[in-house]
């Protein structure tokens, strides 16, 4: 081997070692995003936004996250003189990291592709990063059962729907056979729609109807502090 080859190899090795040391030295990022490892077992009846937020906080605490303020990524429409609640406005400013410390999105605009760069590159929410708080993958397309439907009640931009239809199973208080809630696909797969937060409507609000649509009543949790 020529001397120049030895020098190049040495430089590459030194560079690799330096990168590894930098990675090892970087502080671990605390859990600030996850898909719930379980729903509440009552279909889309989560006890409203307050019940969903409490479930997020309970799971995060059990997982040892130091974050204190947790919000479910859910929208509700304007009704009875009350303004709409947009999922994107509930979850803080980011950045958000999964249980393994992998970045999911750096801020709200990145999460929703608001900017030209964000739309081009997209957030990092995918099948490999959308893990539960227990550091477990969620069953997606191709698994049995498929549970890739994630409750959001939201449009792709993270805002509530403004039409007269019910997209939230009565603001997450219904477990009836009828009704509907908008869901996203955490694995970015299925039905020709790769949206993580607004893929299609469920077939009903009960646990069985959510299952028949391809879900289990799971939802996204974000740390807002």
pLDDT at 89: 98
pLDDT tens digits, 109-166: 999 999 755 555 689 999 999 999 999 999 999 999 999 999 999 999 999 999 999 9
Percent over 70 (pLDDT), the chain? 84
- Residue 11 counted as domain residue: no
Q: Kindly report the number of other CB atoms within 10 A of residue 190's CB atom.
A: 17
CATH number of the domain enclosing 51: 3.10.100.10
pTM given for the model: 0.86
Q: Is 176 exposed, middle or buried (0-12, 13-18, 19+ CB in 10 A)?
A: middle
Task: From 183, 167, 170, 221, select the one nearest 53 (Cα to Cα).
Answer: 221
DSSP state letters, 118-157? HHHH--S-STTT--BTTS-PPP-TTSSS---EEE--B-TT
- In a domain? residue 185: yes
In a domain, 135, yes or no: yes
- Identify whether 21 is part of a domain: no
Residue 210 sits at the vertex; the CA angle it makes with 40 and 223, to the nearest 5 degrees, is 45
Both tokens of residue 30? Answer: 């605390």
User: Does some domain include residue 7?
Assistant: no
Number of domains in the chain: 1
pLDDT of residue 47: 98
pLDDT of residue 97 exceeding 70: yes
Residue 93 counted as domain residue? yes
Phi, psi values for residue 77, rounded to 5°: -80, 165
CA distance 40 to 36: 10
Q: Which domain holds residue 93?
A: 29-223
Tell me if 24 is assigned to some domain.
no
Confidence of residue 12 (pLDDT cuts 50, 70, 90): very low
Question: 193: pLDDT confidence band, cut at 50, 70 and 90?
Answer: confident
More confident residue, 213 or 46: 46
* Residue 78 located in a structural domain: yes
């Amino acid at each position: 081997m020529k001397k120049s080859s030895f020098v190049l190899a040495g430089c590459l090795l030194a560079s690799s070692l330096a990168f590894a040391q930098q990675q090892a030295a970087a502080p671990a990022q605390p859990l600030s995003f996850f898909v719930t490892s379980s729903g509440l077992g009552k279909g889309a009846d989560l006890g409203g936004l307050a019940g969903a937020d409490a479930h997020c906080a309970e799971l995060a605490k059990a997982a040892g996250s130091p974050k204190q303020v947790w919000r479910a990524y859910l929208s509700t429409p304007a009704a009875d003189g009350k303004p709409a609640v947009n999922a994107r406005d509930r979850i803080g400013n980011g950045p958000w990291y999964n249980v393994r410390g992998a970045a999911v999105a750096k801020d709200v605009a990145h999460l929703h592709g608001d900017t030209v760069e964000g739309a081009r590159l997209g957030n990092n929410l995918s099948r490999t990063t959308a893990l539960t708080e227990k550091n477990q993958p969620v069953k997606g397309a191709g698994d049995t059962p498929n549970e890739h439907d994630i409750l959001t009640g939201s449009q792709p931009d993270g805002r509530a729907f403004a039409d007269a239809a019910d997209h939230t199973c009565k603001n997450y208080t219904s477990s009836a056979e009828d009704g509907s809630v908008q869901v996203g696909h955490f694995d970015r797969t299925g039905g020709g729609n790769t949206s993580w937060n607004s893929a299609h409507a469920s077939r009903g609000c009960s646990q069985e109807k959510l299952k028949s649509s391809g879900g289990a009543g799971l939802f996204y949790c974000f740390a807002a502090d």
